[in-house]
Amino acid sequence: MNLPPYMIGLMSGTSLDGVDAVLIRFQPKTELIYSLHTSFPPALKQELLSFNFPGDNELERSRTNGIKLSQLYAASVNRLLKETSISQSCVGAIGCHGQTIRHRPDLGYSIQIGEPALLAELTGITVVADFRSRDIAAGGQGAPLVPAFHAFLFKSPTQDRAVVNIGGISNLTFLPPNKPVSGFDCGPGNMLMDAWIHEVKGVPFDENGQFAATGRVLPELLQKLLVHPFFLLKPPKSTGREVFNIEWLKTFLSGREQPEDVQATLLELTVLSITQALDKHYPDCKELYVGGGGAKNKTLMKKLSSSSFRVQTTEALGVDTQLVEAYAFAWLARQTLENKTANLPEVTGARHDCILGAIYPA
C-alpha cells in the first residue's frame, strides 16, 4: 500500500496530564518532525478520573466527555499541521489510543473513550483507533501494546535491552537480539505518587521527586503494598486505576504517617516493582532505558540508577522520554493501514498475531 509519508500519533495516558501529539515521517526514513503537548482542562480531567469507578449516568457522560476529548485531540492535530505547514493530504492517518477509563481484560473488555469519527470529521484525516479490542478478542490482555514498537525502533542486533515506560502504570519490554520480544505491566508508575501529592498538597505531581526526597521509606507500609496479588501474577499481565488507586492506598494508612514519608514509600514501590520484575524475569539484562513522565523524576531516576542496571533514558536512543507512546501509536496506525499485525502474543497472551485498530476514513 502506497501511504503518504507522514503519520500523527496521539496519546493521553493513565497519568491524565494531557495530550501528547507527534508528527512522524516514515519515508524515506523514520523520524520525528514535530511534537506538542496540550494539558487537560481541570474539569475534563476530573470527569475522566471519575470514570474509573461506577457512577451515575455513565453512558451519557462517557460519550459527552468523549466528544470534548476528541475536540481537544482535533485542536492538537490542527495545531501540529499549522505549525509545520504540512497539509492533511500528506498524512496517512492519525493513530489515536483514546483515554482508558476501564481496563478489564479479565471480563473481556477495555474501554477507551473518544469519538474517532468526530476526530476524522474535524481534521479531515483518516483515524485509526480502538487498538486493544482485537487482541482481547483473541484472548489477550489488550496491553501493553508499545513493546512491538519498542522492538521496531529500539532493538539492538547484539545487546540485551529492557525498556520501561513509567507513565501512570509502568510497563516493561525486554528486547533480546535473537529471541522473541516479551513484556508486561509491572505495577504503578506515577499514578499513586501523583494521586497522593494531589491529596496532600493540591498539586498534580511531585516535580523532580522533591517531596519524596524529603521523606523516608516506611518499610511496613511498603511491604503491605508489595503483597498485592498483581505483583505475584505471571506475565502476560496488565493493570490500571481499577487496581492501583488512592482509595486502595488509604486502606493501608493509619493517618499518623508523615505525608512526605508516604510519598517516599510510593516512589520506592514504583522503583522496586520495576527492578524486582527485571531481576525475576530478565536476570541477564543489564541495560535499561526509561521513558514516560517518570524519566523526569530525578529522585526516581537516582534510585533506579543505584540498582544493578545501566540506566539511561530513551533520549540515548533518539526519542524524547515524553513522546515514546505517542510515537508508538503513529507507528501502530501505519501497521493497521498496511494490513500488518502489531500485537505480540508473548506480551499480551493473545492466541495469535492480530491486525489491530478500527479505521475511520476521512
pLDDT digits (tens, 9 = 90+) for 89-144: 999 999 999 999 999 999 999 999 999 999 999 999 999 999 999 999 999 999 99
Same domain, 161 and 309: yes
User: 1-15, 23-37, 252-266: which range is least confident on average?
Assistant: 1-15
Residue 40 lies in a domain: yes
Tell me the mean pLDDT in the region 317-337: 97
d(CA 252, CA 108): 30
Cell triple for 317: 536512543
Q: Which residue segment(s) compose the domain that 300 sits in?
A: 147-317
Same domain, 165 and 196: yes
Residue 164's pLDDT band (cuts 50, 70, 90): very high
Assess whether 71 and 171 both reside in one domain: no
Same domain, 10 and 107: yes
Classify 308 as helix, strand or coil.
Answer: coil
pLDDT digits (tens, 9 = 90+) for 37-71: 999 999 999 999 888 778 899 999 999 999 999 99
Distances (CA, A) of 173 to 17, 50, 144, 189, 281: 23, 30, 9, 15, 11
Q: Please check whether residue 123 is in contact with residue 117, taking contact to mean a CB–CB distance below 8 angstroms.
A: no
Q: Which single residue is written with the C-alpha cell 515521517? A: 25
Query: Are 167 and 92 in a shared domain?
Result: no
Q: Are 171 and 312 part of one and the same domain?
A: yes
Q: Are residues 55 and 184 in the same domain?
A: no
Residue 238 sits in a domain whose CATH number is 3.30.420.40
How many domains, in total, are found in the chain? 2
Give yes or no: residues 53 and 189 share one domain: no
Same domain, 39 and 85: yes
Q: What is the pLDDT of residues 330-341, one digit of tens each?
A: 999 999 999 999
Do 164 and 290 share a structural domain?
A: yes
Looking at the fold, whether 351 and 288 belong to one and the same domain comes out as no
